[in-house]
Structure 1
Amino acid sequence: MLFATPNGKMLRVEIDAAIGGTFIIVERRAESDAEHYGHYLRRDYPHRLAFEFAVEKYSQDPSRVTIDIKSLSQGCELTLTHDIDAKWAEYTERKKTRLG
């Protein structure tokens, strides 16, 4: 899951995956609860999903995430693009590591 950490515990997950629909994901982490919320911008099943989200504790300004999935002869290739404000750039490498 995109918003999960290795030792976190999911407290609340609500998803309305329609275009314009909203989601909220609350995870209990060691230091506090992390509340992610956002809305869906685009859903071209099964190839693309785009949404904006923010983390209540850190910023009210949403960032955009686009997930593209390409079929291959043996499985698929996923490309995740996260358009973030420069002030959050220091977290980029940590996110890449977590996503594998």
Structure 2
Amino acid sequence: MKKTATIVLTMARRINANSNDVFKAWTKPELMKKWLFTTEATNVVAKNDLRAGGKWEIIDRREGEEYRATGEYLEIDAPHRLEFTFEMPQFNNLQDQIIVWVSPVGKACEMTFKQEITVPHEESWGPEDIKSAMKEYSEESEAGWDKMFEGLKQLVETGEVRAMDSK
């Protein structure tokens, strides 16, 4: 069994939209396709079975490569809480856990996101190697989600997502 460590990434965003619209953007395939992972231009598949135990999947095709993200819904309390697993099987068989809270704040809402990231490491690694890998995973994950959350914010506030860098 591969050795792993876990880090927790927490992010929050104030969004000028109601909780229902933000929750729908997380759970409706036609909306997920517009912002989750990359954009509608490269997301070729977005589907889900929105129920506890149901699966979700998104496939992004860029430069001839397909990137698949998938998971299972663990808990759904629309429009306030969504808990699910997240994995990218083409890279490894590790699974992260994500919780999204959406809370009304006046005419807007606050979305809080928490990801428990499973970081693989080699048997031979020492504490500094593990610490470095955890830092890299955290920074890369935060940068990726930051771009996605900008797309989510654009979608629910304006109805469209402007072109974003898909790296």
Instruction: Say how many residue pairs are matched.
Output: 100
Q: Offset at 1:89?
A: 2.5
Structure-2 change in CA distance of 1:14 and 1:6 (3 Å): closer
Aligned residue in 2 for 1:50: 83
Secondary structure of 2:60's aligned partner: strand
Contact persistence 1:8–1:29 (CA under 8 A): no
Worse overlay, 52-61 or 85-94: 85-94
Q: Offset at 1:8?
A: 5.3
Structure-2 change in CA distance of 1:74 and 1:16 (3 Å): same
Structure 2: state its 5+ residue gaps: 1-31, 120-132, 151-167
Q: Deviations over 1:3-60 (max 9, x none)?
A: 3225851222221011000011111023611011110000011110000010122121
The structure whose residues are more often strand, as a share, is: 1
Contact persistence 1:23–1:39 (CA under 8 A): yes
The structure whose residues are more often helix, as a share, is: 2
Secondary structure of 1:20's aligned partner: coil
The yes-or-no answer on 1:21 pairing with 2:70 is no
- Over aligned residues, Cα RMSD in angstroms? 2.0
CA distance in 1, matches of 2:40, 2:52: 31
Structure 1: state its 5+ residue gaps: none
Secondary structure of 2:75's aligned partner: strand
Contact persistence 1:69–1:79 (CA under 8 A): yes
Flag as ranges the 4+ runs of structure 1 deviating above 4 A: none
Percent of residue pairs identical? 24
The code of the aligned residue for 1:93 comes to E
Aligned residue in 2 for 1:12: 45
Larger RCO, structure (CA 8 Å, separation 6 or more): 2
Give me the TM-score of the superposition, normalised by structure 1.
0.84
